[in-house]
Amino acid sequence: MWNLSSQIFDLTEDVLKRKWAGDFDGEIELIDAMLARDLPQFLKERLEFERDVALALPKQYPYTRKEALAKVRALIPDFTMDELDALELNRVIEYIYVRGEKRYHTSFLDTMLKVDVDCAHRAGRTQSDAASEVDKAIEIMKREGVLAYRITIREMLKIDEQSFIPNAEVRCYLPIPKVCAQQSDITVRTDGAQIASDTAPQRTAYFQRHSSENLPFEVEFSYVNRCKYIDLYAGEKVDSVLYPNEPAPTDDDLSEQLPHIAFTPFLRALAAELRGDESDPLAIARRFYDYITQQIRYSYMRSYALIERQAEYCALSGKGDCGIQALLMIALCRISGIPARWQSGWEVNSKSAGCHDWAQIYLEPYGWVFIDPSYGGGAHRNGDEARRRFYFGNLEPMRMVANSRYQTPFIPLENWNRVDPYDNQEGEVSINGVGLQEGAFHTEFRTLKLERIE
């Protein structure tokens, strides 16, 4: 298995030169030559991890400039190469070099249509029904102060036929809801799975089977998600903590979690500049939130295993998806003495669900509150300041929380390299002890009930 903590160590200059020139075959050749030497163990582990990165990274950037332009023009016929270059310079389009040629990320078009209002309009994209459901939920929360839903979801993971091996040992972990600040009254229905504790940091239903047929792994669960509204951005006062059942902060909520929540010199300097002479934790956290939501571009990312020092990556590159932005918020807060935690799972609507990440921070006298930088940033892009401010302190209850800590092993312990070694939202599978990677299985979520309760 990968030693994930080895990523705190820098790669040698020769390895980096080949990597970012797009000479991945040469990078692997060099790493193999280095591994044949008598090296310190930590350096061997770092190079072994990087060798797998060099194999996986180019696969996520398949499109040449000509192919990328053709994909955009299929939706926007008058789109030009100059526009492509401008979006690239403005951090909207993600690329690397492969064998000296610029290649674009598999999700570059999705990012473009999500974050560039003009391109989305020209492509005929409009607000989804799911976004309308979220708007209605926020409206109720602001009017009534609290909103709760009972949510029932069916989740299914299926191994692709070409990856299935009959009668092999198959192990599967599916994410399921855990007890946390806003989530309770959980029931889980499944056939033959081992269910982790309802407070497990990454809660799963675990399956182990031998079968001649490629049968799906399925779980159905029901839970209550209840969220309270507070105008934290304006500093609304409270008489007591908002979520009294949430565990108190620990040293873990103020500490580095290497390699990705790292108190690097760059992040320390950024936190200090954003804080200025402010000493109030609420005001400091608001400055961090303003910076991320107004200055960091949303972007779909390559697999997290292929991104180093993720919180710093977000700040240095000026872009990131929901999880990368949440990690930056957590790192800045912890550096500044504000306890901060990870939360992730799904965003839920009346039909389905999708992966999403956000953060919690601890502020007196409120206790634990929610921060969703990417939703706040989306509101900023759309010119909706009220909605941007809502996600500083609040979430709507259309979520499923499965994870409360980043980079945490499953229960029972997995013993292979996961697709996502840090979080779990779509499940993980192994066959005969070898983890299946992206494209070898797929997960579906279906919302059976989204019912408001008192």
Per-residue pLDDT tens over the stretch 121-142: 999 988 677 788 999 999 999 9
Q: State the pLDDT confidence band at 82, using cuts at 50, 70 and 90.
A: very high
- 21/103 same-domain check: no
What stretch of H or E contains 348?
Answer: strand 340-348
- 108/152 same-domain check: no
- 416/439 same-domain check: yes
**Cβ atoms 449, 151 nearer than 8 A:** yes
Domain span at residue 25 reads: 4-60
For residues 367, 253, 150, 378, the Cα torsion angle rounded to the nearest 10 degrees is 90
- 303/245 same-domain check: yes
Q: Hey, how many other C-beta atoms are within 10 angstroms of the C-beta on 55?
A: 12
Q: Please give the average per-residue pLDDT across 380-387, as a whole number.
A: 96
Query: For residue 175, what is the domain's CATH number?
Result: 3.10.620.30
Q: Collapsing DSSP states into helix, strand and coil, what is residue 67? A: helix
Closest Cα to residue 296, out of 334, 324, 257? 324
Tokens of 183: 């989530």
- In the chain, how many domains are there? 3
Q: Scanning the structure block, which residue is given the tokens 């473009």?
A: 112
Output the pLDDT for position 355. 97
Q: Collapsing DSSP states into helix, strand and coil, what is residue 26? A: helix
**Alpha-carbon span 63 to 97, nearest angstrom:** 11
55-70 pLDDT per residue, tens? 999 999 999 999 999 9
Sign of the four-CA dihedral 289, 356, 306, 2: positive
Output the pLDDT for position 196. 98
- 440/416 same-domain check: yes
256-304 pLDDT per residue, tens? 999 999 999 999 999 999 999 999 999 999 999 999 999 999 999 999 9
- 55/72 same-domain check: no
Q: What is the pTM of this model?
A: 0.97
Output the pLDDT for position 197. 98
Q: Which of 60, 83, 108 is the last residue of a domain?
A: 60
Q: Which of 107, 122, 137 is the last residue of a domain?
A: 122
- 55/92 same-domain check: no
Closest Cα to residue 385, out of 231, 184, 247? 231
Phi-psi group of 235: left, alpha or beta (phi > 0 → left; psi -120 to 50 → alpha; rest → beta): left
Tokens of 236: 């609304």
Output Rg (C-alpha) for the chain, integer angstroms. 22
CB environment 1-37: b (16+ within 10 A), e (fewer): ebebebbbeebeeebeebbeebbbebbbebbeebeee
- 359/381 same-domain check: yes
Closest Cα to residue 274, out of 347, 328, 317? 328
- 260/296 same-domain check: yes
Output the pLDDT for position 127. 67
Phi/psi of residue 447, each to 5°? -80, 120
151-175 pLDDT per residue, tens? 999 999 999 999 999 999 999 999 9
Q: Please give the average per-residue pLDDT across 449-453, as a whole number.
A: 97
**Alpha-carbon span 52 to 24, nearest angstrom:** 11
Q: Collapsing DSSP states into helix, strand and coil, what is residue 25? A: helix
Phi/psi of residue 328, each to 5°? -65, -45
Q: State the pLDDT confidence band at 245, using cuts at 50, 70 and 90.
A: very high
SS3 content of the chain, % helix, strand, coil (to 5): 35, 25, 35
385-420 pLDDT per residue, tens? 999 999 999 999 999 999 999 999 999 999 999 999
- 314/407 same-domain check: yes
- 102/227 same-domain check: no
**Alpha-carbon span 287 to 201, nearest angstrom:** 29
Output the pLDDT for position 128. 72
- 103/189 same-domain check: no
Please give the mean pLDDT across all residues of the chain.
97
**Cβ atoms 90, 298 nearer than 8 A:** no
Cα distances (Å, whole numbers) of residue 18 to 14, 49, 100: 6, 16, 10
User: Is the predicted pLDDT of residue 98 greater than 70, yes or no?
Assistant: yes
Q: Collapsing DSSP states into helix, strand and coil, what is residue 303? A: coil
Output the pLDDT for position 220. 98
169-219 pLDDT per residue, tens? 999 999 999 999 999 999 999 999 999 999 999 999 999 999 999 999 999
Output the pLDDT for position 453. 96
- What is the CA angle 415-417-422, rounded to 5? 105
What stretch of H or E contains 149?
Answer: strand 146-159
Q: Which of 106, 122, 138 is the last residue of a domain?
A: 122
